[in-house]
Amino acid sequence: MRTDARQHHDPAVRGFASDNYAGAHPEVLAALTLANGGHQIAYGEDDYTDHLQRVMHSHFGAGAEAFPVFNGTGANVTALQALTDRWGAVVCAETAHINVDEGGAPERMAGLKLLTVSTPDGKLTPELIDRQAWGWEDEHRAMPQVVSITQNTELGTVYTPDEIKAICEHAHERGMKVHLDGARISNAAASLNVPMRTFTNAVGVDVLSFGGTKNGMLFGEAIVVLNPDAVQQMKHIRKMSMQLASKMRFVSVQLEALLAKDLWLRNARHANAMAQRLAEGVRQVHGVEILHEVQANAVFARLPHDVSERLQKRYRFYFWDENAGDVRWMCSFDTTEDDVDGFLAALKEEMAR
């Protein structure tokens, strides 16, 4: 098929900056082509979005309802709006994506207050939640109504099902709801070797932001309502939050490509395996310290600042805490063993200089 577009990047360039840097999986691109013919009803009344509901039921039970959206920030902010009143607040880890990387969108767009808690590993516990879960009747304080956790966390650690169950029970006992930011939920399920329902609806999570872009989709995520009694007017909030796609079939068919069989799991297992290979190699390099247990597709490390700056000229990656010399290396579904081995060789060379 003819196009006037031209390739403007070198596809041989690889990096470890983010799993968002990867392209779309070929099976996802094939699904988009499959959905492209003819006309379909707009705004989610198409056959692909209808079928997506049945696909989601196979993963999260018959009561689950999926609301496709454009991106992860949109999923989180829309979900949190549907879970809170105008005076509500959300308890989250200090490192949570909603607090650090969403440009103030929860506060500016949803009009809610984030009550953050410092954690050693990115994971909340009932005890940590209680540092902010108080003062419901205090008119001078935003009312804690939701606990938001991330699976896997922004530090690459993974909650066990029992840990999430304890959080849900603790939150529900206090009249609070639980939101799970699942931007990398597939990597967490692959790490735990359990179905996604095992640590979501089966243990009490009310609403899930399901991530696809970091695991092979071109664009799009989904809000999955697991407890319909917990939310208010999700479809109306999605629209006013500018997250209602007119050609929704092109988001829904990507989610179907991931979830209808096992592409989501294959991609996640591969990314996790590449992170393990990277971590094993890094442990052999004197002077480089791995900071957190490598449980999914992220490796956090500390090394001399000047080494990182030289290495960044050869491979893209980000500082996590530049003052401390902490960096983050991410693996994706298309990371190869050669990518990892080449990066390790470059790391060893720069450390030896």
- pLDDT tens-digit readout, 190-226: 999 999 999 999 999 999 999 999 999 999 999 999 9
| Alpha-carbon separation of residue 56 from 197, 255, 268 (angstroms) | 10, 9, 18
* Tokens 């609070």 sit on residue: 176
How does residue 137 score in pLDDT terms, banded at 50, 70 and 90?
Answer: very high
- The dihedral built from the CA positions of residue 250, 254, 259 and 260, taken in this order, carries a sign that is positive
How does residue 1 score in pLDDT terms, banded at 50, 70 and 90?
Answer: confident
Alpha-carbon gap, residue 12 to 7, rounded angstroms: 12
Q: pLDDT tens digits for 281-321?
A: 999 999 999 999 999 999 999 999 999 999 999 999 999 99
Q: pLDDT tens digits for 92-134?
A: 999 999 999 999 999 999 999 999 999 999 999 999 999 999 9
| Alpha-carbon separation of residue 327 from 79, 214, 269 (angstroms) | 30, 19, 23
Q: pLDDT tens digits for 43-83?
A: 999 999 999 999 999 999 999 999 999 999 999 999 999 99
Helix (H, G, I), strand (E, B) or coil at 189: helix
The chain-wide mean pLDDT, for the chain, equals: 97
- The dihedral built from the CA positions of residue 35, 28, 44 and 246, taken in this order, carries a sign that is negative
Residue 56 gets which letter from DSSP? H
Angle made by CA atoms 214, 232, 264, in degrees to the nearest 5: 20
Residue 163 gets which letter from DSSP? H
Helix (H, G, I), strand (E, B) or coil at 342: helix
> Strands 298-302, 326-330: parallel, antiparallel or unpaired by DSSP?
antiparallel
Query: Which pTM does this prediction carry?
Result: 0.97
Alpha-carbon gap, residue 39 to 174, rounded angstroms: 48
